[in-house]
A and B are shown apart, each in its own frame.
Chain A
């Protein structure tokens, strides 16, 4: 690997000199007077100023006098110029400020003592600075207007009576969050911050990200649950792969507040709904606090009812670890090391993962270690390595600020990577960039797109081939790049010839003109990057899909320079790190192959043991391996396969069969419920370490609170076990692990705790002086030349049938994350989104006789579940969507376990299912007529030899009559029948 590093360009900042209050002040050219003053330590009060927002000039407190300028300019909007002479505290200025403050207080209905903002209140601070006097307040007329408080959002409340209309919230919502849920409405003193149509916030398009709350200088927007912390600890968010930096406020060993780290290079202070409100799971009463051992004789198949005392008994660490050590050694002895397997975790730190894979390899003696990257981006790693020689995101968030075009395919970015979604929306809305969106669902980003393509699930290869066909046909390819930096173009060119827009329309359903438009917009952009997610990867053709993305980028020369790039968006907080640190069956940390003898020798020397050169099995192969008796013992750290695996019925029966199952987690997950031994682990806020985000940035995780009960860090538990199993690792703290990682992992070579204080480092970072790498593939690819792959469209493994007429595609919703172990234990997140639903096109719902919120039975060849329906035109007819966070209705009961042959990733995105009103489905189970009616109403009726009277009864929806044949019907079913029968053409 030869990582390219961008040289840090020393941009000389031009400065100007001005005089403020008689003092010579130097400032950056382009700075405002306020910035110049504050930079020089001269305080100017301001309420509507925020360095992250565009100058607004509304509160009028920052007015100054500038010699030669008329009136009182606002320093926050006035550019500082060379030689300017500014006075910030003249009688005229002070008089204006005082009157302005008096006016605010005359309209401010608040009692500072009872206001939760209290000492944090900017208004109060400025009042003190200015020196407000009671006599001045008394002479003014106090506003009689008292407005109702909006408490509709579970996370925060809005008291307009404390609002000063600085519009920071509105501007943050527009400029930073790019949501635009709130705005100013009405005129004069009735002007207020509100939502479209002046509805309660919860009924608006608000995403509850709390950016507004964080910016509010007064107590107008306040979190409902926050308390003032006694200290704050900077750490990294444990939700998605964006890797936001934040401060946890702690009081009495509890997280009581959260704020975004405005210096954080990833998020610059922003947080999403999960990142801001979703941390109460840490102190949730259901946290595991002691090791648990299965009571002898209890069945693995016991239903998960939350009452674990009948199944597990509490044990001491010694007893539990002894038992685990014993059973593992015993199995290893009896069946060989490869009879054991471990699942590491994308939720755990790099250090935890490093220790886990080291434990698996050095202690258990097998490469059978994997984690759920297999379920999300395995195809990225395989595909991108094939094309570029490197499997990670090639660019940085910084590049998103420079790109001319975003092509988002198979990623519902605003829900799954909200902060990146905001960046895209902000860039597009400001006119700085264009956007193409391709997704089988009509996702939010599509509203901002120049071209929006809604292709059928699993037709990505055809779609991209079609785009490339048009680009080549119209001569828009980057010939120089193709010639200089790639191979395999000609073969691919020939293959895509037949992917004409018309042919592609046939396959994908995307109208040919849209495809042409998209191809032109893409190819004509100065710089473009492709962002994708599970929509690309979770297919039997996942690897091909990824290679297609690579093809498109190379064809147009959109890789290896600023603003361009290959941007797979990693789903979990540390899935990048878990991969990087070798929680994969075929590679050691740093993607060093286990079958490479030099590598093996290096690790053997370092770890002082003999290692296996045989690549291990993947997560998705574990279930079959258990069935086949190849795997006898399984150690699961922080994973929940019984929610995240496809074909859950199958996975469950495998885990019920395995001889010994250890689960180490923070809650008694669906998987842990089946374990022989459950080990209580520390949550992210309770340990030290590092996470690596999707842009390859390694960032610190810091302990904020003490773990509950006897819970311990994952790496400590595993190290203890290694001790007991005769191979002591000897770590005293997490940083020692990081240092060891650095010594053995070239791409992490320069990564140590002390270097991460300033916002983290992007790998490759080979040595202690290396500044990290913002983007890859400059000048050359890791594999030398980039490789074009000629890829034919292959349909998904499953297609619709008469029995299963719908394509189910799965994914996430904004408020929840992964298998819901954390987010569903957050009060705010679960109140915002209490239930799972299946989304369905209105036309389909009409055909099925479904109305909003009906409980629907969904079934596939693999299983059945019930959930509520949400009818939305965001889906194409024939496609249904379900998030997989709810154990009450786990979508993966239905999903197909068909795998991508290369990456072994399952095709979560395409499963054939049927959907029926649940009460009908139940009734149909023992009534043939209803069963056939449920399947196909028209046919069902024709299939019966009906008398005229019976027919008349059906036509007229005579329920009594029908009930006389089929028995008593549920109320909903009665109305359904009447409605459904009336639709039928008899």
Chain B
């Protein structure tokens, strides 16, 4: 039978199938499908079809790429488009058979999309879905469409026509065609495939070999597996074309033994080719002979390197050798050999089936065609994708991948597997092609793409990849064998808190050297994760080394418990929660007191970043840590005072400028270290933003007063109403050091017309007036501009000042709102409206009325912060008439110029990140004046650091930590409540009662509630390895 006949037979069988009057059901039976339960789906289908007496053809196909949606089926009823149903269970399959096949309800609620001609109401076209729209399927053209075990399916879809065409061409013409297509090696290095073939073609030798590299070894990569499982012939046809072009008559497929399904598909495909005379001697009557062997590899990563791969085929230990000689001259068994990877081969068959020009129309100038990626990690839609070269990371992560789960922030995208690099979120618009990736320090690799979010520690992730490459190093050359080990040791030290100054530079030096000096690609690329993370995430390394801090709270050696690690002040959360659970509230308070002087204040107002990292949250809901802290502060007695010590006077004195949380904290600890601390405050009362910013209904003033009194109790002299005009004067009057903690009390201007008119106030002044007992008149209707906590505070305060209607105008949506979730919740609860996606453009005021004109916004692309960027919608202006406009879009510090302190962005002071030293000798600064508007707990942390640095500056040890509890007795602890539980719901004041006054909204926890909640804590700090 000649090929034309084979072809026409295949086409008629295929057409017969398409025009059959039986419905057909395609089931995704790739490894991903089977792992998700596709076999049960097939069984359920069989059973249900029999039960309902429906005749249908079930066709098992490969993976279509939507791995997140497996098990996946396509149901095609005669004359109708195919309907895809995703994430199936046997029960759902039953429903679909009954309702769509027996009845005619397509169940739009279950269907994912349609394929083929025609539309179905309520179901989008599959290829219009964001996940598929940007994709172009060349290499994966048949995956999910055809039965990989049926060669006729492949042939009917154009299969082996490329080979037939090639065999009519001269080998050189075939090579030229591939060259013209611009195809570059999809194994990762991106060398021109046609040129590579040319070398092998030109090499002299009686025997030549073709090898398909299917040793896919990157953790998380599955492109080649899926392709071989879904369309083995596309790869095999490519190999035959290559063999003909270079003059090889023997070939190997080197595939890892861990891919049993792919191996089975290949073996079936090879047998079918032999039956059709497409393999063996005199293929298609052309005189071209080709024989193929499948060689199973034992799973060594290095065997993906071509010389190691060949050594492995030859039966030796898979170790690379130096080149030259290149495999094109002396490869397998010393003969000229050409190796390409799975994806390259399947592109080759597509190129010959179509044309070089057709192929070259896809992609970029230097990277033609498409590229497959296995999209994995912190992304909603994981799966196998194929996109034209030049598609941006943004399109891949957000459009195809659907973004990051759990509203987390994107941190980086890792490409190229363990030897690739991390591309930071800021480079999200990078087009994915060989050269752009290389410029970032990463590589294309074979197509692994791992999305990394904020909960990933870059140092730890780098350590993980190094551990992989190190353990997969063949050990032959010294830089790779011991260089990767040395880097791994250093990374382990860093993640264990044993990092040393100079380690980052050492890592860089080692990485460069290993890259430069290693024998093969494994060693030459293994340092990429190190180099790219240092390049883009150096801060994280420094935090690990200098502060023993892991911002993602994952490094086990540093992080006792993620909650306390995340707390800026490092409060030992699990320990005080344990004391609460045991009923020892004195001790609980003492534990908190070991790190902060404002337990109660924090218990009221802390935005509790700790709770976001609480491991209990992964089980059910995070522990209500802040509420427990408040409880401890309320119930705990003076145990802490008994143990607290004040060091003998050192005779040194320190001036603290500003009595906010940073300044008071610094003064407190300095006094305890024996220094005379004097706090200068321009305003009438101490407390800073705690007093003049945070409304009373959130922080009762007696709580504030009590804790400030306790600061005074250790000897701190607070001089209110005293504005410091010059630091020189302070030094002249005998202070040895100064801490500047003046906060950020200057409202940020809107920058629009009319913002200085009557009826327009800024949020800072508004709140501070309200808190100073000079409540401004707000009228009936108030518009608050902004989305942060100040905006919410202003809105709620306005409500309490008598406004009937308060509207918050925010330019993005709720999910981007920076204010804390519970504040937003309470505001809405109290009847405050939020107008999302609106931005003010103009304010006109007069006659006691204010007209606020806004424009509608829409969200565009994601910006560097990982949030989608708002853009005005043209012609969408609208106005609202209000009595008062409160502009609360941000604050800035105001530091007298004569202080002589260097400042930077948004008027913030520039200090050493770790010591808080300013440019002036003996002057330190911290809190909002350095960070910009932040939180009380961050200000406390800054105050602590300032106290440490100043104490050290004054010759002390800087040891401010205290132990205020006796050693913990762990034997008699109450058991952890491991059942599925809910987080305690904190009692609040009824809305009606709230608006009458500034009474505290949130109420105290009862003892039973607190103890129950405390017993939910998993005690991560006691966890043993």
A538 to chain B minimum Cβ distance, whole angstroms, is: 39
> Contact: B300 with A187, CB < 8 Å?
yes
**Which of B28-36, B42-50, B513-521 makes up part of the contact surface?**
B513-521
> Contact: B484 with A71, CB < 8 Å?
no
Is the C-beta of B472 less than 8 angstroms from some C-beta in chain A? yes
Is the C-beta of B179 less than 8 angstroms from some C-beta in chain A? no
Chain B residues near A71 (CB-CB < 8 A): 516, 524
Chain A residues near B477 (CB-CB < 8 A): 57-60
Binary A-proximity of B302-344 (CB < 8 A = 1, otherwise 0):
1000000000000001010111100000000000000000000
B490 to chain A minimum Cβ distance, whole angstroms, is: 6
> Complex Cα distance A716/B302, Å?
66
**Which of A94-102, A462-470, A644-652, A862-870 makes up part of the contact surface?**
A94-102
Is the C-beta of B474 less than 8 angstroms from some C-beta in chain A? yes
Find residues 39-94 in chain B having any chain A CB closer than 8 Å to their own CB.
none
Among B323, B517, B524, contact of A99 (Cβ-Cβ < 8 Å): B517
Find residues 469-506 in chain B having any chain A CB closer than 8 Å to their own CB.
470-479, 481-486, 489-490, 493, 500, 502, 506
> Contact: B476 with A58, CB < 8 Å?
yes
B527 to chain A minimum Cβ distance, whole angstroms, is: 12
> Contact: A55 with B485, CB < 8 Å?
no
Among B484, B502, B506, contact of A188 (Cβ-Cβ < 8 Å): B484
Instruction: With CB as the reference atom, state the residue of chain B lying closest to A104.
Output: B478
Is the C-beta of A846 less than 8 angstroms from some C-beta in chain B? no
A433 to chain B minimum Cβ distance, whole angstroms, is: 16
> Contact: B478 with A95, CB < 8 Å?
no
> Contact: B516 with A187, CB < 8 Å?
no
> Complex Cα distance A191/B317, Å?
12
B875 to chain A minimum Cβ distance, whole angstroms, is: 57
Is the C-beta of A140 less than 8 angstroms from some C-beta in chain B? yes
Is the C-beta of B457 less than 8 angstroms from some C-beta in chain A? no
Known: A100-B479, A188-B475. A60 touches B518 (CB 8 A): yes
> Contact: A188 with B519, CB < 8 Å?
no
> Contact: B517 with A188, CB < 8 Å?
no
Is the C-beta of A143 less than 8 angstroms from some C-beta in chain B? yes
> Contact: A103 with B476, CB < 8 Å?
no
Interface size in chain A (residues, C-beta < 8 A): 39
Find residues 178-202 in chain A having any chain B CB closer than 8 Å to their own CB.
183-184, 186-192
Is the C-beta of B509 less than 8 angstroms from some C-beta in chain A? yes
Is the C-beta of A107 less than 8 angstroms from some C-beta in chain B? yes
Chain B residues near A161 (CB-CB < 8 A): none
Among A58, A140, A188, contact of B478 (Cβ-Cβ < 8 Å): A58
Chain B residues near A72 (CB-CB < 8 A): 516-517
Among A60, A140, A167, A191, contact of B517 (Cβ-Cβ < 8 Å): A60
> Contact: A139 with B502, CB < 8 Å?
yes
Among A77, A78, A141, A187, contact of B471 (Cβ-Cβ < 8 Å): A187
> Contact: A96 with B513, CB < 8 Å?
yes
B509 to chain A minimum Cβ distance, whole angstroms, is: 7
> Contact: B486 with A167, CB < 8 Å?
no
> Complex Cα distance A183/B964, Å?
61
Chain B residues near A167 (CB-CB < 8 A): 476
Chain B residues near A55 (CB-CB < 8 A): 322
Is the C-beta of B809 less than 8 angstroms from some C-beta in chain A? no
> Contact: B317 with A99, CB < 8 Å?
no
A166 to chain B minimum Cβ distance, whole angstroms, is: 9
Is the C-beta of B510 less than 8 angstroms from some C-beta in chain A? yes
Instruction: With CB as the reference atom, state the residue of chain B lying closest to A78.
Output: B324
A189 to chain B minimum Cβ distance, whole angstroms, is: 4
A896 to chain B minimum Cβ distance, whole angstroms, is: 46
> Contact: A189 with B516, CB < 8 Å?
no
> Contact: A60 with B490, CB < 8 Å?
no
> Contact: A58 with B519, CB < 8 Å?
yes
Chain B residues near A60 (CB-CB < 8 A): 477-479, 517-519
> Complex Cα distance A79/B324, Å?
8
> Contact: B473 with A188, CB < 8 Å?
yes
Chain A residues near B506 (CB-CB < 8 A): 139-140
> Contact: B473 with A191, CB < 8 Å?
yes
Is the C-beta of A106 less than 8 angstroms from some C-beta in chain B? yes
> Complex Cα distance A57/B514, Å?
14
> Contact: A59 with B317, CB < 8 Å?
no
> Contact: A184 with B476, CB < 8 Å?
yes
Chain B residues near A100 (CB-CB < 8 A): 478-479, 513, 517
> Contact: B475 with A77, CB < 8 Å?
no
Known: A100-B513, A103-B482. A183 touches B475 (CB 8 A): no
A136 to chain B minimum Cβ distance, whole angstroms, is: 10
Chain B residues near A74 (CB-CB < 8 A): 322, 519
> Complex Cα distance A234/B769, Å?
104
Chain B residues near A382 (CB-CB < 8 A): none
Chain B residues near A78 (CB-CB < 8 A): 322, 324
> Contact: A96 with B472, CB < 8 Å?
no
Binary B-proximity of A100-139 (CB < 8 A = 1, otherwise 0):
1001101100000000000000000000000000000001
B544 to chain A minimum Cβ distance, whole angstroms, is: 16
Is the C-beta of A443 less than 8 angstroms from some C-beta in chain B? no
> Contact: B513 with A99, CB < 8 Å?
yes
Is the C-beta of A165 less than 8 angstroms from some C-beta in chain B? yes
Known: A57-B321, A139-B502, A141-B490. A189 touches B475 (CB 8 A): yes
Is the C-beta of A292 less than 8 angstroms from some C-beta in chain B? no
> Complex Cα distance A139/B490, Å?
10
Instruction: With CB as the reference atom, state the residue of chain A lying closest to B323.
Output: A77
Chain A residues near B518 (CB-CB < 8 A): 60
> Contact: A141 with B516, CB < 8 Å?
no
> Contact: B475 with A165, CB < 8 Å?
yes
A241 to chain B minimum Cβ distance, whole angstroms, is: 34
Chain A residues near B517 (CB-CB < 8 A): 60, 63, 72, 96, 99-100
> Contact: B485 with A188, CB < 8 Å?
yes
> Contact: B322 with A77, CB < 8 Å?
yes
Among A56, A73, A107, contact of B482 (Cβ-Cβ < 8 Å): A107
> Contact: B478 with A59, CB < 8 Å?
yes
A68 to chain B minimum Cβ distance, whole angstroms, is: 14
Is the C-beta of A847 less than 8 angstroms from some C-beta in chain B? no
Chain B residues near A375 (CB-CB < 8 A): none
Find residues 277-310 in chain B having any chain A CB closer than 8 Å to their own CB.
300, 302
A308 to chain B minimum Cβ distance, whole angstroms, is: 56
Is the C-beta of A340 less than 8 angstroms from some C-beta in chain B? no
B161 to chain A minimum Cβ distance, whole angstroms, is: 39
> Contact: B478 with A187, CB < 8 Å?
no
> Contact: A96 with B516, CB < 8 Å?
yes
Is the C-beta of A92 less than 8 angstroms from some C-beta in chain B? yes
Instruction: With CB as the reference atom, state the residue of chain A lying closest to B476.
Output: A58
Chain B residues near A192 (CB-CB < 8 A): 475
Chain A residues near B476 (CB-CB < 8 A): 58, 165, 167, 184, 191
> Contact: B475 with A99, CB < 8 Å?
no
Chain B residues near A104 (CB-CB < 8 A): 478, 482
> Complex Cα distance A216/B823, Å?
73
B701 to chain A minimum Cβ distance, whole angstroms, is: 55
> Contact: A184 with B479, CB < 8 Å?
no
Among B472, B519, B524, contact of A57 (Cβ-Cβ < 8 Å): B519
Is the C-beta of A164 less than 8 angstroms from some C-beta in chain B? yes
> Contact: B481 with A92, CB < 8 Å?
no
A interface residues (Cβ-Cβ under 8 A, vs B): 55-60, 63, 71-74, 77-79, 92, 95-96, 99-100, 103-104, 106-107, 139-141, 143, 164-165, 167, 183-184, 186-192
Q: A139-B500, A165-B481, A189-B470 are in contact. List 14 more A-B contacts (CB 8 A).
A: A60-B517, A72-B517, A96-B479, A96-B513, A99-B509, A104-B482, A107-B482, A141-B493, A183-B317, A187-B474, A188-B473, A189-B485, A191-B481, A192-B475
22 examples of A-B residue contacts, CB within 8 angstroms: A58-B476, A59-B477, A60-B477, A60-B519, A72-B516, A77-B322, A78-B322, A92-B516, A99-B514, A103-B483, A103-B486, A104-B478, A106-B482, A139-B506, A141-B493, A184-B474, A187-B300, A187-B302, A187-B471, A187-B473, A188-B471, A191-B474
Q: What are the 5 A-B residue pairs with the smallest beta carbon separation, nearest first?
A: A191-B475, A57-B322, A77-B322, A99-B513, A141-B489
B interface residues (Cβ-Cβ under 8 A, vs A): 300, 302, 317, 319, 321-324, 470-479, 481-486, 489-490, 493, 500, 502, 506, 509-510, 513-514, 516-519, 524
